[in-house]
């Protein structure tokens, strides 16, 4: 987060903390396929966490807001949000999963790099 904070402060920009709560689909007969309803407590917890983080950033002199969305395609939600808000740069942390783990988790960072029109800054989570 430090990299995003400093970059935004240097450029006079705002940090928009954004989280997507993914809907996990249920499978079965075609007429039974529907997304699982996300527990409202999960969304409320994410909103509370991001709001607290944004408040901490503001107390350190950074511009920051927080937004949480629910959606099935995390990367698509990030891309749509960036377009709606006119975001100049998407900063995302990558966990560096590879092999079967990376394939199974479906890298959001990889999808953003190949699909987003907005520039992307990837930061490795261990740095």
Are residues 60 and 30 part of one domain? yes
What does the pLDDT read at residue 118?
95
- The pLDDT, as a whole number, for residue 86 is 95
Domain-embedded: residue 3: no
Amino acid 77: pLDDT? 95
* Domain count across the chain: 2
Residues 68 and 20 in one domain: yes
Range of the domain at 36: 12-72
Q: Could you tell me the CATH number of the domain that includes residue 97?
A: 3.40.50.620
Q: What is the pTM of this model?
A: 0.79
Rounded to whole angstroms, the Cα distance separating 56 from 98 reads 33
- Based on the fold, state whether residues 80 and 124 are members of the same structural domain: yes
Give yes or no: residues 58 and 25 share one domain: yes
Beta carbons within 10 angstroms of residue 95's beta carbon: 14
Query: According to the model, what pLDDT value does residue 16 have?
Result: 94
103, 59: one domain: no
Q: Over the chain (127 residues), what is each successive 10-residue block's mean pLDDT?
A: 82 91 66 59 92 95 93 92 95 74 67 92 75
Which pLDDT does position 23 carry in this prediction? 76
- The residue with tokens 């079967």 is 100
Are 56 and 108 part of one and the same domain? Answer: no
For position 103, what pLDDT does the model report? Answer: 57
pLDDT of residue 58: 94
Do 80 and 98 have their domain in common?
yes
- Tens of pLDDT, residue by residue over 49-85, are 999 999 999 999 999 999 999 888 899 999 999 999 9
C-beta contacts of 76-80 below 8 A and 24+ residues apart? 76/111, 76/115, 77/20, 78/18, 78/20, 78/108, 78/112, 78/116, 79/112, 79/115, 79/116, 79/117, 79/118
Asked if residue 45 belongs to a domain, the reply is yes
């Amino acid at each position: 987060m430090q990299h995003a904070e400093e970059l935004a402060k240097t450029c006079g920009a705002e940090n928009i903390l954004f989280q997507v709560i993914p809907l996990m689909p249920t499978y079965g007969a075609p007429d039974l396929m529907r997304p699982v309803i996300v527990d409202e407590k999960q969304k409320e917890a994410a909103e509370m966490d991001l709001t607290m983080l944004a408040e901490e950033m503001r107390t350190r002199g950074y511009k920051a807001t927080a937004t949480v969305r629910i959606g099935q395609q995390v990367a698509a939600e990030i891309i749509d949000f960036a377009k709606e808000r006119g975001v100049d740069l998407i900063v995302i942390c990558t966990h560096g999963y590879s092999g079967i783990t990376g394939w199974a988790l479906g890298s959001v960072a990889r999808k953003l790099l190949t699909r987003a029109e907005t520039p992307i800054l990837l930061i490795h989570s261990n740095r």
